[in-house]
Amino acid sequence: MAWNRKKKLLAVALCALIAFALSACGGGGGGEGESSGEAGEPPAASSDKDEILIGFAAPMTGPLSIFMGPTPWVEELCLDAINNVNGGIYIDEAGGKLPIRVVYADTESDSNKAMEVATKLVTENKVDILVGAWTPVGTNPISAVGERYEVPVFTFGAPEESWLEGGPYNWATGMQFNYDMLCTDVINMWDKLDTNKKVGFVLDTDVDGTTGREVYTRLLAGTDYEIFDPGAYTIGTTDFTGLISKLKDADCDIITADMITPDFTVFWKQCHQYGYVPKVCTINKGMHYEADVENLDSDGGNGITFSSLWDKNFPFSSPLLGLSCNEIADKWESENEGFYPYSIGYDVAMYDILYDALSRAQTLDKAAVRQAILDTDIDTVFGNLTFNDNQCARVPAIGTQWLPGEKFAFEKKVVASETFPAIPANDPIIIPATTQK
């Protein structure tokens, strides 16, 4: 008999375990980890709320976490401005000003996890606005969660083209760069130099690589540039002998590469070893950070061109912080180590836009917040931003070059900005003396 009872007990326990687990989760117990976890009491109506909750599903670990470097610094700066200097944001149903709090969730740079953590932010933490960032892996799954649960979503840091693949969006908004504009300014850089106009593609098969291949091919058609495409390379290639000799044989003066940092570092080193250093090397994705450029062997970083997504020479300022781009970058460099990362611009612009939208909405009603974000029309660190019919606000991607600097080993110079003429491109573009073929 004891045998039977044990079995029954286990059967019931097993079902109870599942049911309990599910309803415990349903109760939102354990919310922030430290909260006392009164299970079964989700924060009910928004009128009871004593804060505005922004859920940031961010790549805090894994390959994409490189973008997150300045995020805590910017958060402290901006939340101080919003909560302490301005005293919060007036919300009608709360009858007063509420502070903003940002709750983070780690996507681990993985689109599967991104969806899981964003769902948790929306359904358990019940965030008022969901934020997702950096590359399609960071923006597309988060946007999908917003569409599914009908929560306003703000995403940034991906190509507009690939973000829109997940649309048409209703609840998701994006602050993205546009690949057509990016490539246009890259070509503008090449135009300024004396080359044989042969362009070699070193593109991977990722979103940036495939989009870049399509856009460059379209934009260069009918010009006197000649394209040489040796075929896409696979991420994680360790030896580029074949690729380099093809580029060398094709006599390309220009190469445009879309490579992650380790791949480009190996590729560029092997280019030097095989005596092939083209006059112009435009590298996207891999060489956004000064430390990476400094890491390249034998002064290889000198003169590398790339398309920068934010620069301290942007003649704009943040309305929330009251600081110009130059001041923000200087503040970063004085309080942190190293050259300012461009992702500061995106982080600051996010707070600019969300603060402005919530201030106008004066409510946490989801539809009203969504509409307020879409109605945005403010001057930010990217200049004036508005959202188009695809719910996307376009930010600049302009041509820049790494050249030896005074304060740091390399500094970034703006050399082409035809797509955003408001940004001055005063520095001349240079063919570095190390070029050899």
Partner 1 sequence: MELFVQTVVSGMLVGGLYAAIGVGLSLVFGIMGLTNIAHGSLMILASFFVMFFSRQVTGGVVTALLLTLAIMALIGALTQGLLINRVLDKGPESALLVTFGLAIIAQNVLQLVFGADYKSISSPFASVNVIDTRWVIVSGEYMVNFLVSVAMLLALHLMIRKTRLGRSIRAAASNVVAAELMGVDTKRAYIYAMCLAMLTGSMGGLLVGQTFGFYSYSGMSYLIIAFGVVVIGGMGSILGTLIGGFILGLAQLLGAYFFGPGVQVLVGYLALLVILALRPRGLLSNMTRK
Partner 2 sequence: MGARTSGIRQIGGAPGPRGGWAARKPLVLAAAVVVLALLPLYASDYGISVGILIFLYMSLGQMWNLLAGYSGLVSLGQQAFVGIGGYTLAMVTQAYHMSIALSFFIAAGVSLAFALVISFPIFKMSGVYFTVGTWIVSEALLVFFRNWAFVKYDAGYNITVAYRISMPALYLGALAVGLGATALVYFILRSRMGLALMAIRDDESAAEARGVRLYRTKLACFLISSVYTGITGVVLYLNITYVKPGAAFGIDWTVCMVFIVVIGGLGTIEGPVIGAVIYVILRQYTYNFPGISMIMLGVAAVAIIMLAPEGIMGAVHGRFGFRLFSTERRPPPGTGPRQYPEDAADV
Q: Where on the chain is the footprint of partner 1 (CB under 8 A)?
A: 61-63, 65-66, 68-69, 205, 230-234, 236-243, 245-246, 261-262, 265-266, 269-270, 272-275, 289, 291-292, 295, 297-298
d(CA 166, CA 296): 37
**Can residue 140 be called a binding residue for partner 2 (CB under 8 A)?**
yes
Pick the closer one to partner 2 by CB: 234 or 334. Answer: 234
**Can residue 390 be called a binding residue for partner 2 (CB under 8 A)?**
no
**Can residue 61 be called a binding residue for partner 2 (CB under 8 A)?**
yes
**Can residue 422 be called a binding residue for partner 2 (CB under 8 A)?**
no
Q: How many C-beta atoms surround the C-beta of residue 299 within 10 A?
A: 15
Question: Over 84-133, what HEC string results?
Answer: HHCCCEEEHHHCEEECEEEEEEECCCCHHHHHHHHHHHHHCCCCCEEEEE
Pairing verdict, β 226-228 and 198-203: parallel
- Residue 296: burial class (beta carbons within 10 Å; 0-12, 13-18, 19+): buried
Local structure of residue 407 (DSSP, 8 states):
S
Among 155, 173, 178, 211, binds partner 2 (CB under 8 A): 211
CB of 158 to partner 2, least distance (A): 11
**Can residue 64 be called a binding residue for partner 2 (CB under 8 A)?**
no
**Can residue 295 be called a binding residue for partner 2 (CB under 8 A)?**
no
CB of 344 to partner 1, least distance (A): 16
CB of 66 to partner 1, least distance (A): 5
Sites for partner 2 among residues 13-32 (CB under 8 A): 14-15, 17-19, 21-23, 25-28, 30-32
Pick the closer one to partner 1 by CB: 171 or 306. Answer: 306
Non-local (6+) Cβ contacts of 162 within 8 A are 136, 140, 207, 211
Among 38, 85, 87, 148, binds partner 2 (CB under 8 A): 148
Whether 328 contacts 344, CB under 8 Å: yes
Whether 300 contacts 289, CB under 8 Å: no
- Cα angle 247-307-353, degrees, rounded to a multiple of 5: 155
CB of 108 to partner 2, least distance (A): 7
Query: In terms of Cα–Cα distance, which of 182, 199, 206 is closest to 306?
Result: 182
Residues that bind partner 2 (CB under 8 A): 3-4, 6-8, 10-12, 14-15, 17-19, 21-23, 25-28, 30-33, 42, 58, 60-61, 104-106, 108, 110-112, 114-117, 119-120, 122-124, 136-137, 140-141, 144-145, 147-149, 162, 165-167, 204-207, 209-211, 232, 234-235
